[in-house]
Structure 1
């Protein structure tokens, strides 16, 4: 969606993001006169903004284009190497790091085990060392790094940059991650909930004609939901919107730690599916508190289903039906027409789940929408939450809105 600017002199920074965003969305290049028409800014304002962007190295002039009488006009294009963002995704199973350039291309990435130590200082040191290693391995100009985005399981306090008490990370209690990581790295830091970061990424990478009203079902160690309505990320009062894990989808189902039965965020996650498979003799029992063992067993369960094992397929099909009930509630509530799936544990089960999910959603008697619901997988490479975390930083640079996040270490 193209945005227009304002010619009032007090909002030069806002106009700069309007112009930069317009240039980014046209990789083939755009002339200044085309920018003026597109953004509703004056030719003088566009010329001044482009001069600042050229001086900052964020854009380049590449060739000329004839568009009428007079000499051909210079074509302005985004300079992908003009800036970089680091994304960090913290999951109970692993921490993923990515380096992304201004065009959104992932230049480098790495993955480490999630630190389990109780001392937050040691946790921050390990993350800072991994970030430094990523900077070195990617060989980018350190002065061009705009900041670090962190995607963390919720709940989080984004205003203070604190990871509160993720249910599957018992040692992470009120960790002041943003401030500590900013001090350890010397870089500005943003913090976001992981499912919300995934939505930011989807909007950033979306084709111009893609739906702007969707839910993102984030399938990791836990289940999260991110929301976009009219192209705006739904964050809520405390930036913790979208916690749909306690939607009851099976009143006779297993007891969730919350005390209720059949919560979708409990009965569909890898740990529970692996436990059921072991109980039914499909898999060998594993230590459910060992994230590596659960991941290995989960992938084995997915492989069995892919190879036609009826018992393994039944477990994943039941999970698909449970997800369908939650999806119907979410799409009814928001009148959205698309649900996107992704997350570190999604790829192994995608084929089996998507084979059962569309029918389960469309045939659910509770579905009231007069339009079809499209179900698709995220096309974002590597780790969608890590890329989303980096995109938070780029979004702050590009997004022409007064409510843009502040890149501040506090």
Structure 2
């Protein structure tokens, strides 16, 4: 993933960039503006081009770049010949200038990643999801896993900027608390952010998993990619990350993105909410496995998450191999997902739907063979524009990488709100 992975999609001649200010009181803001402009150009940029892109004076850019070079966040490579005089130096992000740890807590597995400042995953590991009723033991295990990963990855611990955690909702972002995720029965009001920070000595950010996935997609986007999309996250459950106008939609309590109780089949199975045909109940891996087991396509009976995982893998393999009954199970789920997608496209007027998540790849080829035509032919579809369907470009685990990206986004993204002067 070298080069392009940390870019949000700008080209060398892109004018869609934030501009800075020359006021002395906003030095830190100007620093983030310049750093943001540098990371948008993975092939490097000169100081003069940075000044043009940011609207800052040449002297301000020079001073900011001097600080960034001294801090190790950027590095200068060679020169670019552009006319008479001394050739200008080429400034790029220093991949080793900063690292972030991303943690994704899924009911099936916990994924840990180390991501460098250029967006490359340096190392990753997985472990079973802790289900102990004692939150302290859960935090201790995660803290040990994070410390071990930093050690084995060989990165400079002093350069680790923080930890991002992506977890199923609902969450209390303000207090860093995991409330009561339905598929993590022993996780009730776990103060994960504070406790994990104490266990590792690092700052911690907490985010809902589907939101973290959307953040990652924005950071990794190509120049031509739409900034208005829904990320259909297919894991143990179904979630949706939303980006509109290049900004992630979090909602009032940061718990946006739960389409699970959207009805897609009025005659479908009864959901735990009492309604029938909820998309989050009818299309999950467990639901597909239970149907396949009832029809004798795969043996056994759905039990715990590991058994569902194994049976889902077997079902998907049969479907991809052309087994008609297995294919029908997955294709029916694709049609139900398509109905949910139509509602989302109508509601948000988005141009792209992205698919990803830990269970997605096993059924991707079948769903993408069935779903697009069902969406486009649905008489309920309102927007006149075409809708594109793509897969996540993120390797490993998109929510884990998204969690790591949260740290970089929080640390380095320029935000005009930082310019506000407190009345107190």
**Normalising TM by the smaller chain, what interval?**
over 0.9
Per the alignment, residue 172 of structure 2 pairs with: 157
Structure 2: distance between partners of 1:377 and 1:281: 31
- Map 1:392-407 to 2 at 5 A: 392-402=406-416
Question: In terms of mean alpha carbon deviation, does 62-71 or 360-369 score higher?
Answer: 62-71
SS across alignment from 2:379? coil
**Residue 333 of structure 1 pairs with residue 342 of structure 2:** no
**Residue 302 of structure 1 pairs with residue 316 of structure 2:** yes
Q: Is the 8 A contact 1:23 1:29 kept in 2?
A: yes
Per the alignment, residue 256 of structure 1 pairs with: 271
Structure 1: distance between partners of 2:411 and 2:220: 15
SS across alignment from 1:30? coil
Structure 1: distance between partners of 2:321 and 2:44: 47
Q: Is the 8 A contact 2:290 2:302 kept in 1?
A: no
> Which of residues 182, 189, 201 is equivalent to 1:186?
201
Per the alignment, residue 9 of structure 2 pairs with: none
Structure 2: distance between partners of 1:176 and 1:208: 39
Per the alignment, residue 403 of structure 2 pairs with: 389
Q: Is the 8 A contact 2:172 2:179 kept in 1?
A: yes
- Aligned pairs, how many? 403
SS across alignment from 1:336? coil
Q: How high is the TM-score relative to the length of structure 1? A: 0.97
Displacement of 1:66 in angstroms is 2.6
Displacement of 1:70 in angstroms is 2.5
> Which of residues 53, 74, 77 is equivalent to 1:59?
74
Displacement of 1:72 in angstroms is 1.2
**Residue 206 of structure 1 pairs with residue 227 of structure 2:** no
- Cα displacement string for residues 83-107 of structure 1 (whole angstroms, at most 9, x for unaligned residues): 0000000000000000000000000
Structure 2: distance between partners of 1:268 and 1:387: 25
- Cα displacement string for residues 312-346 of structure 1 (whole angstroms, at most 9, x for unaligned residues): 11111110010000000001111101000000000
Per the alignment, residue 171 of structure 1 pairs with: 186
> Which of residues 373, 384, 388 is equivalent to 1:374?
388
Structure 1: distance between partners of 2:83 and 2:225: 32
Per the alignment, residue 23 of structure 2 pairs with: 8
- Cα displacement string for residues 139-171 of structure 1 (whole angstroms, at most 9, x for unaligned residues): 000000000000000111111100111111100
- Map 1:93-132 to 2 at 5 A: 93-132=108-147
Q: Is the 8 A contact 1:248 1:264 kept in 2?
A: yes
> Which of residues 291, 297, 307 is equivalent to 2:305?
291
Structure 1: distance between partners of 2:299 and 2:98: 48
Per the alignment, residue 95 of structure 2 pairs with: 80
Q: Is the 8 A contact 1:275 1:285 kept in 2?
A: no
Q: Is the 8 A contact 2:166 2:400 kept in 1?
A: yes
Structure 2: distance between partners of 1:283 and 1:228: 38
Displacement of 1:403 in angstroms is 5.4
- Cα displacement string for residues 6-27 of structure 1 (whole angstroms, at most 9, x for unaligned residues): 2222221111111111111112
Structure 2: distance between partners of 1:156 and 1:403: 24
Over the residues paired in the alignment, what is the CA RMSD in angstroms? 1.0
Structure 1: distance between partners of 2:23 and 2:344: 41
SS across alignment from 2:277? coil
Q: Is the 8 A contact 1:328 1:367 kept in 2?
A: yes
Structure 1: distance between partners of 2:78 and 2:126: 40
SS across alignment from 1:326? helix
SS across alignment from 1:159? coil
Structure 2: distance between partners of 1:383 and 1:133: 19
Per the alignment, residue 317 of structure 1 pairs with: 331
Structure 1: distance between partners of 2:417 and 2:188: 28
5+ residue gaps, structure 2:
1-15, 419-424
Q: How high is the TM-score relative to the length of structure 2? A: 0.94
Structure 1: distance between partners of 2:107 and 2:83: 58
